[in-house]
Amino acid sequence: MEHYTMNLTLKVWRQKNSNDKGRFETYQVSDISSEMSFLEMFDVLNERLIKEGKDPIAFDHDCREGICGMCSMYINGRPHGPWHANTTCQLHMRAYKDGDTIVVEPWRANSFPVLKDLVVDRAAFDRIIQAGGYISANTGNAVDANAMPVEKEKADAAFAAAACIGCGACVAACKNSSAMLFLSAKVSHLALLPQGEPERKTRVLNMVQQMDKEGFGSCTFTEACEAVCPKEISVTNISRLNKEYLAAGLSVDK
């Protein structure tokens, strides 16, 4: 693969805290390698800003391997940038060419308030999980792996739903800031497995209630969420969530 360097113009959202109005600031970066990751390019910019005595740009990152879901950036109008099924940390600068202008923003959703610059508070997702995203666990001796058979079709579907990393790209892409793809993945993962059966009905009711409490918008099934999901979570999980919610609402004691 051909290696090259480029000069770029970055328009980055800067915001001191949740109460600050915020604004875009323009930066020029030079000699950026095509093989750098997008976050490494930001590291280079931040090193320069620190040397100049300026406040570096705050952004979330941890594993830088597409696992943790923290690298949430809205890049040129698309969560995680132009590459399909990709997190920001997996995006490389060869996606751009010399002279390009790149606009970088935080997630835009009332339920994800900006903490600083490109960092948003996604604790709303944690509270949704706490409301029901767990199972009753036998804490005694470990059971045999095959002691509870699971149909392959269901096992595969549960595994695909469990791939959700909770990055929030689905919320950022949705015109309503809906969290339905995230929630449906978490509900589907456990609803498809026998281990999730004990809390199956109360789980979906409690998690939907918490999602609404957090202020996420309604789902109008535009499928923008699936289009930008780095783990390609399917919107069929939303249909399963609706089915689980209806069944639970009809059967749980009032």
Domain boundary, last residue among 60, 84, 115: 115
Q: What is the pLDDT tens value at each position of the chain, 254 positions in all?
A: 689 999 999 999 999 999 999 999 999 999 999 999 999 999 999 999 999 999 999 999 999 999 999 999 999 999 999 999 999 999 999 999 999 999 999 999 999 999 999 999 999 999 999 999 998 877 777 777 677 889 999 999 999 999 999 999 999 999 999 999 999 999 999 999 998 999 999 999 999 999 999 999 999 999 999 999 999 999 999 999 999 999 999 876 54
Last residue of a domain, one of 65, 91, 115: 115
Distances (CA, A) of 132 to 125, 166, 206, 211, 229: 12, 15, 6, 11, 23
Residue 253: the pLDDT is 57
Domain count, the chain: 2
Residues 88 and 140 in one domain: no
Residues 85, 170, single domain; the answer is no
Task: Identify whether residues 188 and 233 lie together within a single domain.
Answer: yes
Name residue 166's beta-bridge partners: none
C-alpha torsion sign, points 139, 144, 146, 147: negative
Whether residues 197 and 93 fall in one domain: no
User: pTM here?
Assistant: 0.93
Please tell me whether residues 47 and 130 are part of one structural domain: no
* Rounded distance between C-alpha atoms, residue 24 and residue 19, angstroms: 16
Residues 133 and 240 in one domain: yes
Are 131 and 169 in the same domain? yes
134 and 99 housed in the same domain: no
Look up the CATH number of the domain holding residue 129: 1.10.1060.10
Q: Tell me, yes or no, whether 137 and 165 share the same domain.
A: yes
pLDDT attached to residue 145:
67
Residues 6+ apart with CB under 8 A from 133: 186, 187, 190, 203, 207
Taking the alpha carbons of 31, 35, 38, 40 in that order, is the dihedral positive or negative? Answer: negative
